[in-house]
Chain A
Amino acid sequence: MCTLLKCRCWLAGRLREARAARCAGGQWPGVCAGLLWLTLCAVAQADGSVARYVTLPSGTLASVLANDAEGALAVVDAFSMRVTPVTQGEFRGFLQVHPEWAPGRVPHTFSDAGYLAGWPKDGGDAAPTGAGNVRDRAWDHRPVTNVSWFAAQAFCEAEGARLPTWLEWEYSAAADATRTDARTDPVWLAHILGWYGHPANTPLAAVGGPANVYGVRDMHGLIWEWVDDFNALLVSPDSRAQQDGDKLKFCGAGAIDLKDKQNYAVLMRIALLSSLNAADSTSSLGFRCVRPL
Chain B
Amino acid sequence: MVSRFLALLEMAWATRTALCTLAFAFAASASAAPDDATRAASLVPPASTAAAPVMPEVVPTNSIYQLNVALTDQSGQTFALAARKGQPMLVSMFYTSCKFVCPMLIEATQSIEAQLSAAERARLRVLMVSFDPAHDSVAVLKAMANDRGLDLHHWALARSDAKSVRKLAAVLGIQYRSIGNGDFNHTTALILVDAQGRVVARTTELGSDDAAFVAQLRQTLAAQDQ
Binding site for B on A (CB under 8 A): 1, 3-4, 6-7, 10, 34-35, 37-38, 41-42, 44-45, 68-69, 98, 100-101, 105-110, 149-150, 153-154, 157, 162, 228-229, 231-234, 247-256, 274, 277-278
Contact = CB atoms under 8 A, between A and B. Distances in A.
The 4 closest A-B CB pairs, nearest first, are A41-B20, A278-B170, A251-B101, A232-B177
Given A100-B48, A229-B177, A249 B187 contact: yes
A281 B52 CA distance: 26
Contacts of B207: 248
A279 to B, nearest CB: 8
B67 A233 contact: no
Interface in B39-60: 42-45, 47-48
B20 A45 contact: yes
Contacts of B62: 107-109
Nearest to B23: A38
B13 interface: yes
Contacts of A69: 180
B102 A251 contact: yes
Contact of A153 (B10, B16, B20, B43): B43
A188 to B, nearest CB: 28
B33 interface: no
Contacts of B109: none
B177 A42 contact: no
A4 B10 CA distance: 8
Contacts of A252: 98, 179, 183-186
Contacts of A1: 6
A245 to B, nearest CB: 9
Contact of A107 (B61, B102, B173): B61
Interface in B78-125: 98, 100-102
B170 A45 contact: no
A109 B177 CA distance: 22
Contact of B67 (A3, A105, A109): A109
B171 interface: yes
Among B48, B170, B186, B188, chain A packs the most CB atoms within 10 A around the CB of B170
Contacts of B12: 7
A233 B177 CA distance: 7
Contacts of B21: 45
Interface string B157-187: 0000001001101110111111110011111
A178 B47 CA distance: 48
A109 B64 contact: yes
Contacts of B174: 231
A44 B17 CA distance: 8
Nearest to A274: B175
A232 B175 contact: yes
Contacts of B185: 234, 250-256
Contacts of A228: 166
A248 B24 contact: no
A213 B98 CA distance: 42
A45 B62 CA distance: 32
Contacts of A4: 6, 9
B204 interface: yes
A45 B24 contact: yes
B179 A253 contact: yes
A149 B170 CA distance: 9
Nearest to B64: A109
Contacts of A255: 185
A190 to B, nearest CB: 30
B169 A68 contact: no
B137 interface: no
B206 interface: yes
A3 B9 CA distance: 7
B66 interface: yes
23 contacts: A38-B27, A41-B20, A42-B24, A44-B17, A100-B44, A105-B47, A106-B45, A107-B45, A107-B63, A109-B62, A110-B43, A150-B43, A154-B43, A229-B166, A229-B177, A232-B178, A251-B101, A252-B98, A252-B184, A252-B185, A253-B185, A274-B175, A277-B170
B9 A234 contact: no
